[in-house]
Amino acid sequence: MTNKYIKNIKLDDGSFIEIDVYDVLQAWNVTNPAIQHGIKKLLQPGERGTKSKRQDIEEARQSIVRALELEDDDKS
C-alpha cells in the first residue's frame, strides 16, 4: 500500500529525505489529537481520497474548533 502522506524533501546538500505528516507533527510536538487531525487535512485538502478540497477544509475547521474545546477543558 502506498503511503499518501509521504513527501520527498530536498536538503541543503542536494540529497532528499522522505517525511510524512506524522514526522511533521512530531517535529513540532503537536499533541492535541484534534489539531493533528486538522493539520493533516490542511496539508493535502482534497488529495487524500474521496473528499473534496472544500470538505477537507471544512472538516479541518471543525477539528480546530474541537481542539479549542479540548484546550478549554484542560484549563478547567
DSSP string, 6-71: -EEEE-TTS-EEEE-HHHHHHHTT---HHHHHHHHHHHSTTTSSSS-HHHHHHHHHHHHHHHHHHH
| pLDDT (0 to 100) of residue 4 | 77
Domain boundaries, given as residue ranges, for the chain = 7-75
Q: Which residues, given as ranges, of the chain have pLDDT below 70?
A: 1
| pLDDT (0 to 100) of residue 1 | 59
Specify the pTM.
Answer: 0.80
